[in-house]
Structure 1
């Protein structure tokens, strides 16, 4: 093997050649590729973990590989290691992951220096509380008063509890803990945990005690089920509550006291309609050097959620060759011919005021395009996976083609003529590009050509009347496909997975894959190796997302942008984006920036500050945070020092009692 070959590090791992791997990592140019994703979206560490190449994993860790970023399926290296159950690897990967956090935040280009420019020092005191209509939960009074201090590169957080007791109904154990975090000018960081009642402290980073490491690793051992959480905020609505009404009590609910006696009037904003996804991964074990056998109800694991970018915008970026603008003119003619108004909308009139001019244009444009609506499961799947469908060699593109050949979707619903025309309407050259690429075996290629020409025909796109005539006579594809080949495609599953939620009787597939097949440049679909697993995803619409009390415009010394670095930090961690480069394509990051900018614009974030917010947990329980005090100057230096009468003790830690 020569280092000029594509993905040299991946190839060493595939061959389990750790000697060669260590040798080529000495080459600085090759080492720059240590976090490169292959054509399946896997970095070298992801591939090594999938195939359980332990020595290769250790070599990559030694050379500082990325232990944070996700692969196309949404899993980061720590999660892949957790499912392996190797405590030594979990410990090493976890340390490397947390080191990445500290290195990122402490770097000159990191968040802290940017934060210092807009808010060099401050202190906030706030109350966290769970409010419930359930008597036993209300009686528990789960609440805490917390402090957060910042002065330059020094941080301090004070908590009024020391752990959680899970015996019976979970409850917070009272205590007094402090976290001190220091970022030095040389980029190095240190973090300490203080127990103020016992007057003890321990180091959390860079030299955590053995006890803390063991406690963390034990939480990652014998894990049978792993969860991943996602949000789709493309339908999010933000409404400012009306000030209509009268009475002292109504006014009182909108007035919040800060620093004991300073009263601020607020406007209340309600956030509604967010889609929440819970992905579950379980029943997993290794099967060696084979393609992973993933039993799943999810149509496409790596692109299963809607994103905020409109379909129209994404179509304009398509890799396919034909122009969608010619088709758009045809669909406009079709709309007029069928009496559809361009201004028709199913949106609630009450929400019309939250749409920006740009968004309104986008809505109209999409409506004009969708002369065929996405009103069934098959078309919804097309919409949800539009990013993958624009690449004709993606896994979802192959799956859609097989559904069309079969004549029905994974749930047995017949595919209509209009379903095929819907794909053509969105991506005019999808079928012609797919057929031209010749991905299918000869018999399947011929069948797809016959299906396509029998339904779509070879009419000219400029012939509007021909297009409309075909739209007005929808017939299902099932009869067409059956006449071409009786009982052609009779598989229980159209991919690695299966649509049934009962996986018990499904035989495990062991599909070998050669090095040539894995690194074939024509094989570009997402691919997981070495495991049997079950993956399911639950989708929930949260009607009432949150409620925020924001100060009136320009009446408070701070605004939303002063705390944006905190929000960015949390989201970078939650989305595993610490090591994502600015030019890297990352859907979750794009979604976050789009939605946070939308929210800030809707609430006039440059002029307001949140004094209180509530997030529903259950129908009868809400999580509430309320600001009590705020200071933006004269923060004493002494609070960032460990008191002289404190002793170092490795027993200090956050306790979980079960």
Structure 2
């Protein structure tokens, strides 16, 4: 029999809006069931719009993932109702802003508490696939901090799976300013600047919905559950723990074991034309012929994507759903079309106790002043349980797992860190 204990989930499943209105006052809207789904996941997968509106109005979280790694926004894209996607996307951005504002006093205080510094980071995304290396980005990023003020200079403006953008950009963060005036961006080539807006315009949101509706739904995570570190060895006859100077800092080297990047893609919402177009873009990237400054529209405004026809209503009952093995629920929405890949990394890391900064401080600084799209792989790694010290050098290569049916391009990321004097 079905497991009890999820009354709000069940009322949403049954589209019992009166009961949902009653239970939502006392139940946790972020509670996850046996499959990791929140009530909002279920409402979106089943297309229960009144429940969706009610749950969002009561703060149902958007960023939370179910057992298969999908957020409510991902399920909204799969279902294909444009207004629902827009509503969930808008709420997601609002929740992100509110979360940052809640953490802002703590971040500003952390900046005041640490000493002033001048830090230079260099990272390179490289590939062993011919002609791809020159298409992948690298960057030298300099961070200067004084009091609660930060300046970050970078040449890599944005990096996503399909495109990246070069520039000469400076982020200026002033912790003493009002929240809506604290972050500015300077384009040093164009000699212009602007205050970072905390809210996207309606046109920008609509354009983002178009992109979401025409792209793969991707869930990628760095699996660190089984990760372990062992001291790297040096020497031929007499093996000993490897240590050496990196810049001015004595550093101990470690081998990183059991580091895996897992990726899932879904495309049940895409047309044949969408898939062919996306495939052509990726092929052009691999051949070195992709011009990321051209969008193919010849300056014409794209027609807005229309909502998809609603998926066929599921015949599953609540008992069917709850009796399924944990993490393996029946498909409640559009039938899944998915691909999975897994990449195992061979990594080495140099840790220094002498480096005058902590990992937590660096991540806090970067979170304040810059988007993290291009740093996500590095961020996931650096938030795992590292050996003592600061990672002054990280280098990893990747190998494809035999079980991977949809391999990703072999690549490596190298990070070099130095304090500037």
Q: TM-score, normalised by structure 1?
A: 0.44
* Cα deviation, residue 523, structure 1: 7.5
**8 A contact 2:216–2:265 mirrored in 1:** no
**8 A contact 1:225–1:281 mirrored in 2:** yes
Answering whether residue 75 of structure 2 is matched by residue 80 of structure 1, we say yes
Tell me the distance in 2 between the aligned counterparts of 1:629 and 1:82: 44
**8 A contact 2:126–2:133 mirrored in 1:** yes
Answering whether residue 277 of structure 2 is matched by residue 278 of structure 1, we say no
1:611 alignment partner in structure 2: 392
Answering whether residue 228 of structure 2 is matched by residue 226 of structure 1, we say no
Higher strand share: 2
Task: Note closer, same or farther for the CA distance 1:176–1:621 as it changes in structure 2 (3 Å cut).
Answer: same
Tell me the distance in 2 between the aligned counterparts of 1:186 and 1:120: 23
* Cα deviation, residue 103, structure 1: 3.0
Tell me the distance in 1 between the aligned counterparts of 2:203 and 2:187: 16
Which one of the candidate residues 593, 596, 621 is aligned to 2:384? 596
2:9 alignment partner in structure 1: 10
Task: Note closer, same or farther for the CA distance 1:204–1:267 as it changes in structure 2 (3 Å cut).
Answer: same
* Cα deviation, residue 274, structure 1: 2.5
1:449 alignment partner in structure 2: none
**8 A contact 1:192–1:203 mirrored in 2:** yes
1:14-163 to structure 2, matched below 5 A, reads 14-18=13-17, 21=20, 23-24=21-22, 29-30=25-26, 33-38=28-33, 40-107=35-102, 112=107, 115-116=110-111, 119=114, 121-130=116-125, 136=131, 142-150=137-145, 155-162=150-157
Tell me the distance in 2 between the aligned counterparts of 1:223 and 1:102: 25
Tell me the distance in 2 between the aligned counterparts of 1:268 and 1:158: 29
1:513 alignment partner in structure 2: 316
1:608-647 to structure 2, matched below 5 A, reads 608-616=389-397, 622-630=412-420
1:532 match: secondary structure? coil
Larger Rg, first or second structure (1 or 2): 1
Q: Deviations over 1:461-518 (max 9, x none)?
A: xxxxxxxxxxxxxxxxxxxxxxxxxxxxxxxxxxxxxxxxxxxxxxx99862345x36
Tell me the distance in 2 between the aligned counterparts of 1:176 and 1:109: 27
* Cα deviation, residue 75, structure 1: 1.1
Q: Deviations over 1:142-179 (max 9, x none)?
A: 4322123455665553321445799xxx8855422234
**8 A contact 1:123–1:149 mirrored in 2:** yes
**8 A contact 2:82–2:209 mirrored in 1:** yes
**8 A contact 2:152–2:171 mirrored in 1:** yes
1:283 match: secondary structure? coil
Q: Deviations over 1:8-43 (max 9, x none)?
A: 54344334344664x537x7x43x522233455321
Tell me the distance in 2 between the aligned counterparts of 1:44 and 1:620: 38
Task: Note closer, same or farther for the CA distance 1:118–1:86 as it changes in structure 2 (3 Å cut).
Answer: farther
Task: Note closer, same or farther for the CA distance 1:105–1:184 as it changes in structure 2 (3 Å cut).
Answer: farther
* Cα deviation, residue 215, structure 1: 4.2
**8 A contact 1:82–1:220 mirrored in 2:** yes
Task: Note closer, same or farther for the CA distance 1:152–1:207 as it changes in structure 2 (3 Å cut).
Answer: farther
How many residue pairs align between the two structures? 355
* Cα deviation, residue 138, structure 1: 5.9
1:59 match: secondary structure? helix
Task: Note closer, same or farther for the CA distance 1:612–1:46 as it changes in structure 2 (3 Å cut).
Answer: same
Tell me the distance in 1 between the aligned counterparts of 2:324 and 2:131: 57
Pairwise CA RMSD: 4.7
Tell me the distance in 1 between the aligned counterparts of 2:313 and 2:17: 25
2:348 alignment partner in structure 1: 547
Which one of the candidate residues 235, 240, 251 is aligned to 2:232? 240
1:304-343 to structure 2, matched below 5 A, reads none
Tell me the distance in 2 between the aligned counterparts of 1:15 and 1:123: 58
